[in-house]
Amino acid sequence: MTVALHLRAAERRDAADLAILVDIASHGFATWLWHGAVMRGSKDTAMEQGRSRLRMDDEPGAWKDATLAEWDSEIAGVSIGYDLDENVRDIVAPHPVIKPLLDLQVMVIGSRFIDSLGVYRHHRGKGIGRALLAHEIDKANGRQVSLITESHNDTALALYAANGFAEQARLQAVPLFEDSKRHEWVLLARNMT
């Protein structure tokens, strides 16, 4: 039996898997953000909020911007990318932890921005992340590709460096909790030639 990797555009019905994979890609940062809806009483769980957010039709970084990787017909990973336009300058950070991310995004307006790239743990080591990254680079159509990752995410940093990404800037991350691991957000970009 041959196992094949297949990339496909996400559909709205994939939102639950998208939410899980976005949370994996962000190492729990997404559920921390989504938990605000639980605190406000509009959702029962952070994942319910994530699913709702990823089902939105007109929101950057939702299902319409997602590509799913399937391994042997099972959803294995996701990339979410979109064109960063001038509108990012007008976004007011809803919480201080978001501000450094927005400040970094402003530096790469006009690029294809990879918002999330995540693979389920049991599917790692199969080239899925590399395939999704290559897909996002192709979608840039010759323009710069950018993304932000954590300074301590050595696996991601190695993947991106091996694919032509170079550090553009870094900013100190605002800790989510008092005992959170301290790190910096690293802006990486790949210039097309």
* Distance spanning both ends of the chain, measured CA to CA: 40
Residues in CB range of 69: below 8 A, 6 or more apart: 5, 6, 7, 75, 76, 77, 78, 79, 119, 123, 128, 131, 132
pLDDT digits (tens, 9 = 90+) for 84-113: 999 999 999 988 999 999 999 999 999 999
What confidence score (pLDDT) does residue 2 get? Answer: 62
pLDDT in tens, 30-76: 999 999 888 899 999 999 999 999 999 998 999 999 999 999 999 99
Helices (H), 45-121: 46-54, 99-106
Q: Which pTM value belongs to this model? A: 0.93
In the block, which residue shows the tokens 């699913």? 51
In contact, 155 and 146? CB cutoff 8 Å: no
Q: Alpha-carbon distance 17 to 1, whole Å?
A: 26
